[in-house]
Amino acid sequence: MVRSSQLLHPQREPVALRPAATVLLLRDSPVGLEVLMTRRSMTASFAPGAYVFPGGGVDPADAAAHSQSSRRPGQNDLHLTQAIAAIRESFEELGVLFARHADGRWADEADIAALDRKAPFAAQCAARGLHLAADQVFILAHWITDRDLPRRFDVPFLVARMPEGQTPVADEAEQFEPVWVRPQDALARHEAGQFFIIFPTIRTLERLKAFHTVDEVLAACAATEEPLWTSCPRGGWLAGREVRYMEHESAFGELALVSPDGQIVHHLDWQSEQAVTLLKNVQRLTAPNPGVMTGPGTNSYLVGDPHTGFIAIDPGPADPDHLERLWRAAGGQIRFIVCTHSHSDHSPGAAPLQALCDAKPPILGLASRPTARANSQFTPDRELADGERLVLEGGGATHTLRAIHTPGHAANHVCLVLEEDGLLFSGDHVLNGSTTVIDPPDGHMGDYLASLDKLAAACDDHTIDFILPAHGHVLGDARQAITQLKAHRLKREAKIASAMQALPHGTLQDWVEKAYDDVPPRLWPVAARSLQAHVDHIREGVGA
């Protein structure tokens, strides 16, 4: 866990959450699945003027109405209360009534006309012998309002089929202009500036457009009785505007590291002109070498502070401007230079960076092995032992980096753990936004998978929460990221094994086309390198 003393922004307690419920009313139409949306009042305290799904706060009376509501066997008390809240809000805002008579008939226009939208809802239904159809309301998603907002809600997004024979009529107080719209059309209109929708609505519509019928949506929700996804987004700045991200998106982890309490202050734009401060003791400077293999560029890191001096991790290519900027960001106080491995975008800058420093800090890492390619030759001043600790001390602070040998991407690959703050500097072993290439003979798939297990264990031993890769933004939920990465590799290997069985006399090109059919063909030449590593690993297993 990151020390509070190293956080950039003062800690604060986010606003308390209010329970709420939102419902997506769905129908099938000749043009496809449609969802009912309404425009919020321009004077609303939350998302004024936005097109939304009906919903609102959960009332104590909603929990009290369990006895007059039908429920599914797997529908727990919380989900039942939320469904009742959604039913009540649908009636109050749109005059849509999810209720049945004792004989099973759905409520009709006469029932709706007899009820007062402003009077206690459940009591009126009971008086007319109506039973709330909560069993027809399913949970789709769970959204928690961003940590930075002054009003926050804990809200399930529920789904239900629009009752036949009913027509939505907005209350003209909170909601206006009910409209049936296909999810993809709503998104297109929003992009054109004609249909204002907020982030959770956008992301929900994006997922909803994958379904073709109401039955498909309801079946997916009924299968688990749990949200298909849960998210509390985080915000930052990109290209001069405020942006938000869900947990699975590439920038989320970096925002969680820099602004754990949700302050929207961090800029996510890639640039190479100056170092980006991630914590008081961690800076990142991205080399100006973007490309297919390097993404936005190679990340060089500085760990330390002016009192302790700094450790430079992966100085990158021998780019004089980049190295001078790295040296200046450290105030010239570089105590160690560490290369995670010998590839040409990581280690060539080590010697010229050392030459800039008056104290000539030692260059550390592992020497390139005989299997390394000619352009990946590297000899450190001293090799780092597995588990060796590099310690910076000064001004009452200590920053300790522990080396972990992780062969696989390269035979001499090393990762580093900042012990006091639970950070993993992963080099090319774990990337954000792509999987690393395993290029035999210096790369080895068996070693790579074993090293992932080693890093997973390190996450447990050192309470590692974040991964700082050599390419891409910071990754959060480190243990899960490593677990998912290994699962992805094994899934790909199974697909390659199937291709080999289907085409036993095939070539690498034949197998690439079958096993990487979900990857653009322009990337197949790169994928072929990792495919060879997988093939070698499969054959090693067969031989064993």
* Residue type (1 letter), 174: E
Q: Measure the CA–CA gap between 504 and 495, rounded to whole angstroms.
A: 14
- In the numeric block, the tokens 């001390």 are attached to 393
Map residue 316 onto helix, strand or coil.
coil
Instruction: Report the C-alpha gap between 532 and 507 in whole angstroms.
Output: 11
pLDDT tens, residue by residue, 119-148:
999 999 999 999 999 999 999 999 999 998
Query: What residues contact residue 142 under an 8 Å CB cut-off, 6+ apart?
Result: 154, 155, 156, 157, 227, 229, 230, 231
The token duo for 297 is: 């560029």
- Mean pLDDT (the chain) is 94
pLDDT digits (tens, 9 = 90+) for 454-497: 999 999 999 999 999 999 999 999 999 999 999 999 999 999 99
Nearest by Cα to 465 from 406, 510, 524, 417: 417
SS3 of residue 461 by DSSP: helix
Range scoring the smallest mean pLDDT among 48-57, 139-148, 279-288? 48-57
pLDDT at position 383 is 97
Span 192-218, average pLDDT: 95
Enter the tokens of residue 30: 């000749």
Only one residue has tokens 């469904």, namely 83
Note the pLDDT of residue 176. Answer: 81
Q: Which helix (H) or strand (E) holds 176?
A: strand 175-181
pLDDT at 65: 94
Tell me the whole-structure pTM to 2 decimals.
0.92
- The model's confidence at residue 542, banded by pLDDT at 50, 70 and 90, is low
pLDDT in the model for residue 44: 73
**Confidence band, pLDDT 50/70/90 cuts, at residue 543:** low
Query: What is the distance between the alpha carbons of residues 424 and 416, in angstroms, rounded to a whole number?
Result: 6
Rounded CA gap, 207 and 95, in Å? 27
Tell me the one-letter amino acid at 64.
A
Among 160-174, 249-263, 306-320, 457-471, the minimum mean pLDDT is found in 160-174
Instruction: Label residue 496 left, alpha or beta by phi (over 0 means left) and psi (-120 to 50 means alpha).
Output: alpha
Tell the residue number behind the tokens 């734009």, with chain if given. Answer: 269
Kindly indicate the confidence band of residue 544, based on its pLDDT and cuts at 50, 70 and 90.
Answer: very low
Could you tell me if 366 and 350 are in contact, meaning their C-beta atoms sit under 8 angstroms apart? no
Region 513-528 average pLDDT: 91
Which residue's structure tokens are 């090109």?
Answer: 509
d(CA 123, CA 138): 23
CB 464 within 8 Å of CB 478: yes
Task: Pick 1 or 407 by higher pLDDT.
Answer: 407
* Segment holding 127, helix H or strand E: helix 121-127
Contacts of 296 (CB under 8 A, 6+ apart): 270, 286, 290, 471, 472
Choice among 44-48, 173-177, 464-468, 533-537 with the minimum mean pLDDT:
44-48
Q: pLDDT at position 171, please?
A: 81
Check if the beta carbon of residue 90 is closer than 8 Å to that of residue 170.
no
84 neighbors 90 (Cβ within 8 angstroms)? no
Phi first, then psi: what are they for 42, rounded to 5°? Answer: -70, -15
DSSP 258: H
Residues of the chain with pLDDT > 90, as a percent, come to 89
Is the Cβ–Cβ distance between 70 and 134 less than 8 Å? yes
